[in-house]
Amino acid sequence: TSQAIGTMTALFAHLNINIIYFLSALEEIDDEEAVRISVPTALPPSSTSLKDYVDKSETLSKLVQLGVNLWKLEQRPNVGSMLLRLDYETDVATKLLFLKDIGVEDSCLGYIISRNPFILTQSLENLNTRVNYLKSKKFSQDTVASMVSRAPYLLSFSVKRLDNRMAFYQQQLNLSVANTRNVVSRLPRLLCGSLEPVKENLKVCEIELGFKKNEIQHIVLAVPKVLTANKKKLIQIFDFLHNTMKVPHHLIVKFPQVLNTKYLRVKERHLFLEYLEKAQYDPTQPNYIALDSLISLPDETFCSELASAKLEDFCLFQKTL
């Protein structure tokens, strides 16, 4: 055996061919044989950054062209090595074509992969099964494409999990099938994230904020983000509306968008109106100011229409707070 290997080695050397040995790890080789062992150099031997591999990897260079943020991806454990192992044609191109076929815009592909690179490791069979499940629940193709674009992890979850999430929201909020679909399509990450913050916010709305179940349902239908809002911020803005501005529950339910507004915006505008003695939020009284107008109007319009003041005066007032 050793004689045969030696003969082959000499032949390869004569033909000027570098070889990779497939010998036992315990078998001794001489210095000349060791020098001739070739190590593939398609990729840099080691690096802490994916950018060093872009010129050598078709997969990475194509992902960069799509707008994928490699810097963010390499911060995540094992993602860099996972991407380097992918074959562009079989692993990446097929998934990109799949996403385009279901209606995802080209401009969204980079965003999706930047946030969920693991979609590239999913089988086409699984991806198709999950899309077909959503369509079976009467989500239109355009809606499915929009949901996937806004919630990149959506297609990484099994049909069983997606179905359990749909059932959770329908049961917890006592929603019809159509309303459940409406809420989820507007905030598709509800099907992806943890349910614990959602359960916590539902408890907060009922127990701490004092809303009735049917009021919570109305709020969620109008502003699904309430389910995933920061609990402290939700309590803070409700406290200001209800206890400082004296807005009753039923008016907050009528204009639930106010719960999704920046606290500082509500506070500054209310205090300015209060300073001008115009903070009137009771619809049964003269000079009533609706909550939706309070939060939605641009500063200039807010000043001219609601406060009857100059924008410069409001800016000066803000500096005193």
Span 237-274, pLDDT tens digits? 999 999 999 999 999 999 999 999 999 999 999 999 99
Q: Rounding to the nearest 10 degrees, give the CA dihedral for residues 248, 253, 257, 263.
A: 30
CA distance 3 to 196: 69
Longest Cα separation, the chain: 107
Q: Is the pLDDT reported for residue 297 higher than 60?
A: yes
* Cβ contacts of 169 within 8 Å, gap of 6 or more: 175, 180, 183, 184, 190
| Average pLDDT over the chain, rounded to an integer | 87
**Eight-class DSSP state of 248:** -
Answering whether pTM is above 0.75, one says: yes
Length of the chain: 321
Question: Does position 41 have pLDDT exceeding 90, yes or no?
Answer: no
**How open is the CA angle 115-135-227, to the nearest 5 degrees?**
55
Point out the least confidently predicted range of 51-60, 138-147, 237-246.
51-60
Pick from 249, 195, 245, 186: nearest CA to 220: 186
Please say if the pLDDT value at position 61 is more than 60. Answer: yes
Q: How far apart, in whole angstroms, are the C-alpha atoms of residue 206 and residue 208?
A: 6
Tokens (6 digits) for 78:
């094992």
pLDDT at 55: 66
Is the predicted pLDDT of residue 62 greater than 90, yes or no? no
Q: Which two tokens stand for residue 167?
A: 């059932």
What pLDDT, on a 0 to 100 scale, did the predictor assign at position 45? 46
